[in-house]
Chain A
């Protein structure tokens, strides 16, 4: 298949007054002789004959495909830019909302959790008091307990920091953690590569120069 692509010059108009039209074409014939004439609206036999006599190629009532002007293209780019800016603003507010939610999702408690109490926390929990034997705590987020845990603890977050006694019952992501790993010291329990890692948290010791 052989094909060619080229632009054509078009003269487009509609006819109100046939006399005037013919007069206009007579005077400007040299200018239009290479143009494709597009007539919108009614086209009389007289005009057809006239155009044929002038051997001008014409078509009636047709919508030609149009390349966009530079201005239009610029406008489009501008619009896209604006849209992109809006997207960016939305993304920013969404992020702010998310971070706010995260902050709001941290519960800080200084209650002693007594036997028989069941504390379910949606999100993170920072508990500054004891968990007594017979009490239950469940968090969907991270868990930090600064005092001794003697009750039962379930945590489904990324990490938990706690000290337990031998009476405690600790489940991390459904996995029971033996008390002997957690007793008598502060521990960090976290999930790393789908493995539960327990690290004792020691006080930082000063290394003296010998």
Chain B
């Protein structure tokens, strides 16, 4: 039985889908069978970021309605054999989802994969609720800014009350990714510090991802940034993926500017 991880944020545009694509690939690179599922019914994006736009034949709604089997609908990644992708429907909207259908799909995915990563829609409506309903763990993606933090806080609150695991008396594991950190701005006090964010949200930190201009280009090209050896965001996602696979990776302080001389020197020996 695999583990189901919902990637949520509350606010849109913080880098949820990018995180899903990169973590999915990262986990697959750690030799784990991984499925990434786009739950953003009606606004599918993940296929583009994974570079699998042209391969989509069947989508998640068709699988849930029995029009296609899961095997038919799963798309194999071009870059890693361990990674499969299940696309969202672009035609339907999230009203077509219901708990029973979602449960059946997730159970089937769990039986076939080590990791199932769900890309949640932004907001806290029904689409979001269905994504978190049967998840074993959640990764919350935030940007170091107040509106993102508050929305994430709300999303965590809903996660803690609506998840099936919580209803059964358990607890959903919650992990935080702080995305798009600009070291200079944190140091000058313009951007929220990680400590403050962790204070407010009170969940475990799984990684910090620095702002990286390469991310947009990578998304446009359909090649997740984790494939780029030199990208600082890619390296961050690599570390997070390894942590998700149970490896112990030291936290790298991305809030300290890399341009400092000291960093450059240590960089040589790395």
Contacts from A to B (Cβ < 8 Å): 112, 114-117, 129-130, 132-134, 148, 150
Contact = CB atoms under 8 A, between A and B. Distances in A.
Contact of A132 (B158, B160, B200): B200
Output the residue of B124, B153, B156, B160 with the most chain A CB within 10 A. Answer: B153
Contacts of B200: 130, 132-133, 150
A134 B150 contact: yes
A150 B201 CA distance: 12
Given A130-B199, A130-B202, A133-B149, 4 more contacts: A112-B202, A115-B154, A133-B146, A150-B200
Main secondary structure, interface of A, reads loop
Interface in B76-99: none
A130 B150 CA distance: 13
Nearest to A117: B157
B157 A114 contact: yes
Interface string B136-163: 0000000000100111011011101000
Interface residues of B, number: 14
A129 B149 CA distance: 17
Contacts of A115: 150-151, 153-154, 157
Main secondary structure, interface of B, reads helix
Contacts of B156: 114
Nearest to B146: A133
Contacts of B151: 115
A13 to B, nearest CB: 87
Contacts of A112: 202
A189 to B, nearest CB: 23
Contacts of A132: 150, 153, 200
A115 B124 CA distance: 12
A130 B151 CA distance: 16
Nearest to B151: A115
Contacts of A129: 202
Contacts of A114: 153-154, 156-157, 160
A132 B154 CA distance: 9
**6 closest residue pairs by CB, A with B:** A114-B157, A115-B153, A115-B154, A116-B154, A114-B153, A112-B202
Contact of A133 (B124, B150, B160, B202): B150
A142 B200 CA distance: 24
A116 B146 contact: no
Contacts of B199: 130, 148
26 contacts: A112-B202, A114-B153, A114-B156, A114-B157, A114-B160, A115-B150, A115-B151, A115-B154, A115-B157, A116-B157, A116-B158, A117-B157, A129-B202, A130-B200, A130-B202, A132-B150, A132-B153, A132-B200, A133-B146, A133-B149, A133-B150, A133-B153, A133-B200, A134-B153, A134-B154, A150-B200
Contacts of A133: 146, 149-150, 153, 200
A117 to B, nearest CB: 5
A112 B153 CA distance: 10
A133 B157 CA distance: 12
Contacts of B160: 114
A78 B90 CA distance: 90
Nearest to B124: A116
B143 to A, nearest CB: 16
Nearest to A113: B157
A148 B200 CA distance: 9
A116 B160 CA distance: 12
B74 to A, nearest CB: 35
B127 to A, nearest CB: 17
